Amino acid sequence: MDFEAVHNFYKPIVIEHILARAALDLGISDPVKLTDILALSLSRLPPRYVLNDIDATNNLSAEDHDSINKRVATAVNEAIVMVKDDRRHQRRD
């Protein structure tokens, strides 16, 4: 059995949003901050585990894709604000 094949559907989408938004727009490159943003973002989204990304995305409508991207963008934006306002990170900089 390959239990490692089961994974969170949102994780690669969230990572894509983080890299585009946090690293480029905000200049955040600290791996600890990026990992915190990932964890906080995923915590704000409903759990959705899949075995195969292709099967999971092929069954989604265009509206579903838009809804997922909006939810992920909101979660990432909120996580970025939380990390930027976190005093733990201000001490590390």
Residue 43 pLDDT exceeds 60: yes
Residue type, 67: S
- Asked if 73 and 17 count as a contact pair (C-beta separation under 8 A), the reply is yes
Q: What is the DSSP letter of 31?
A: H
The residues, any chain, with a CB within 8 Å of residue 41's CB and separated by 6 or more, are 14, 17, 18, 72, 75, 76, 78, 79
In the chain, the amino acid numbered 84 is K
SS3 helix, strand, coil % of the chain, rounded to 5? 75, 5, 25
Digit-coded pLDDT (tens) for 22-42: 666 667 778 888 899 999 999
Give 60-89 pLDDT, tens digit per residue.
899 999 999 999 999 999 998 898 887 665
